[in-house]
Amino acid sequence: MSFFNTVKKAQGSLKTPTLSTLLQQPALAPRIAVRGKRTKTNTAQTAQVQRLVTQLSVFSARKKQPRRLKLCMEDLIRHNVATRAWALFNKEKREQEAAQLEAQYNKIVEACEELENTDPFLAYEGTKREKGKRFTPELRVPTETPPTVVWQEAWEPAPTPEKK
């Protein structure tokens, strides 16, 4: 006898078991509804079983959020002030970084215009895009820390493959 047949007998004419029935009679709960490690969806599950699992997972939804702090009014005010101060600090830091990046970009544009005015050929050669390349392989990734080797004296450019 299947799970749903048992529930039909217990409830009469209802087609799917209700959540209240499962709570009153825990023996009727299917074993599929036990939450654990998520795996690929089982295509063998019927729509009724999937609906039941969804209804039961609503109970565990509150576990996905941190518990609400239970503080007295004075501590709650302190907490809110500290939270807002931290948010303001992060906002100012983001604005400073954005201003710095904008200033760097403006300097790059200014340098490109100066190069264009002094030698258009060099400007063209320095800014042309090579087909199929998004960036030059010799490009170093910018980091916050200085390099361990400041200058590579034995550096030579990578050999370019000859086209046939």
Block residue for tokens 């390099």: 147
Return the pLDDT at 13: 46
Residue 107: CA count within 13 A, CB half-sphere? 6
Least-confidence region, from 4-8, 43-47, 124-128, 156-160: 4-8
Q: Has residue 11 got a pLDDT over 90? A: no
More confident residue, 133 or 77: 77
Q: What is the DSSP string of the chain?
A: --HHHHHHHHHSS-SS--HHHHHH-GGGS-GGG---S--S--TTS-HHHHHHHHHHHTGGGGGGSPPPP---HHHHHHHHHHHHHHHHHHHHHHHHHHHHHHHHHHHHHHHHHHHHHH-HHHHHHHHPPPTT-SS-TTPPPP-SS--SSS--TT--PPPPPPP-
**Cα separation, 147 vs 65, whole angstroms:** 42
**pLDDT digit string (tens) for 90-122?**
999 999 999 999 999 999 999 999 999 999 999
Structural domain boundaries of the chain?
A: 3-64, 73-127
pLDDT band at 18 (very low <50, low <70, confident <90, very high): low
pLDDT band at 135 (very low <50, low <70, confident <90, very high): low
Q: Has residue 16 got a pLDDT over 60? A: no
Region 134-158 average pLDDT: 76
pLDDT > 90 fraction of the chain, expressed in percent and rounded: 29
53 phi/psi in degrees, rounded to 5? -65, -40
Return the pLDDT at 95: 97
Report the 10 Å Cβ neighbour count for 7. 22
